[in-house]
Amino acid sequence: MRVLIVEDRERLRNWLQKGLKEAGFVVDAAADGKEGLWYALGNSYDAIILDLMLPGLDGLSILRQFRAAGREDQVLILTAKDTVPDRVRGLDLGADDYLVKPFAFEELLARVRALVRRGYGKHSPVIEIGDLRIDTAKRQVWRQEQEIELRAMEYKLLEYLARRAGETVSRTEIWEHLYDFGSQTASNVVDVYVASLRRKLDRPGEKSLIQTRRGLGYVLGASS
């Protein structure tokens, strides 16, 4: 799941980036308002963490322009402004959540996870597709009550496909949600991870959980 942090305090930005990466997110970070808006409009994020007092362009202006562009990505405002009018203004401008500094990092993570779930129209942290079960809070995967160990990249791919279960997901979309802006990765890396996931999840003699739609992409848990 890909997250954008727009925060002007360098130290806080770096540490948030580090913490979110360790929690399994793909993270982009912007240091000022204009850069933040450019990132937000140019990529698809599962959640955007937005500071309000930013040089160049303040957080509320970013939010306004972002929503005016018709973008529906989940936005969490993370700011030291704690008054009720500030919160109301932020939420009314289209923010999905509001967290005041200083905050507990655990809470920030939980809120971002909740935003991601909501972004895919789900409320439960556990995704079940047939006998496949994914606990997105604990980042654990079971198939037929048997836990399956996945590498970080494999888990990210599976969670993304599972969140969009039944839909055909293009390689570009997958790539965008698995890698941050600065990544320099070969374009066939998605296919490599799909192959390794299939090896771990599928059983011999059964139809693969992840189906290939030739020329379009992949689909998990196809009805057919």
Partner 1 sequence: MTRSLRSRLIVGMLLGMAVLLLAADTTIYTVQRRQLYRAFDDTLLSSANALVLLVHPGPFGYWFDSEGLARLLTSEIRPGALFQFWSDQPIDILPPRPGPDSMPSEPGPPGPAWEDRPPPEPGFRGPEPPPGPPPFRPPPEDAGPLRGRAPGELVVRSPLLNGRDLPRLDTPSGQARFEKIMMPGGGRGRAVGVQLQFPARGPGPRRLPPVELTIVVAASTVETEKQLSFLGALLAATALGTMAISGGVSWLVVSRGLRPLATVARKIAAMDETGLKQRLLGCGVPREIEPVVDQLNGLLGRLDEAFERERALTADVAHELRTPVAEVRTITEITLSRQRDPDEYRQALAETLDVIRTLQGLIEKLLVLARLEAGQMQAELQSVPLQPLLAEHWAQVRNRAAARGVTFEDRCPPEALVSADPKLLEVVLANVLSNAATYTPDGGRISAEAERVRDQHRLSIANTGCELSEGEVARVFDRFWRADAARGKSGLNCGLGLTLVRRAMEAMGGQAVAGVSQERCFVLTLTFQAAEGLG
Stretch that binds partner 1, among 53-61, 148-156, 164-172, 187-195 (CB under 8 A): 53-61
Query: With respect to partner 1, which residue has the nearer C-beta, 138 or 214?
Result: 138
Q: How many residues bind partner 1 (CB under 8 A)?
A: 27
> What ranges in the chain are assigned the alpha helix state H?
10-22, 33-42, 59-68, 84-92, 105-119, 152-163, 171-178, 189-201
Stretch that binds partner 1, among 61-69, 76-84, 134-142, 210-218 (CB under 8 A): 76-84
In whole angstroms, what is the distance from residue 104 CA to residue 206 CA? 45
DSSP states of 12-51 as a string?
HHHHHHHHHHHTT-EEEEESSHHHHHHHHHHS--SEEEE-
Query: With respect to partner 1, which residue has the nearer C-beta, 72 or 106?
Result: 106
Near partner 1 in 101-160, by CB under 8 A: 101-106
**Contact status: 64 vs partner 1 (CB under 8 A):** no
Minimum distance from residue 38 beta carbon to partner 1 (Å): 17
**Cα(first)–Cα(last) distance of the chain, in Å?**
27
DSSP collapsed to 3 states, 155-172: HHHHHHHHHCCCCCECHH
Other residues' Cβ atoms within 10 Å of the Cβ of residue 131: 12
Query: With respect to partner 1, which residue has the nearer C-beta, 2 or 13?
Result: 13
**Contact status: 18 vs partner 1 (CB under 8 A):** yes
Minimum distance from residue 11 beta carbon to partner 1 (Å): 5
**Contact status: 189 vs partner 1 (CB under 8 A):** no
Q: Which residues contact 81 (CB under 8 A, 6 or more apart)?
A: 52, 53, 100
In whole angstroms, what is the distance from residue 20 CA to residue 38 CA? 21
Minimum distance from residue 133 beta carbon to partner 1 (Å): 25
User: Binding residue for partner 1 (CB under 8 A) from 64, 69, 72, 80?
Assistant: 80
**What residues make contact with partner 1 under the rule CB under 8 A?**
8-12, 15-16, 18-19, 22, 31-32, 53-56, 80-83, 100-106
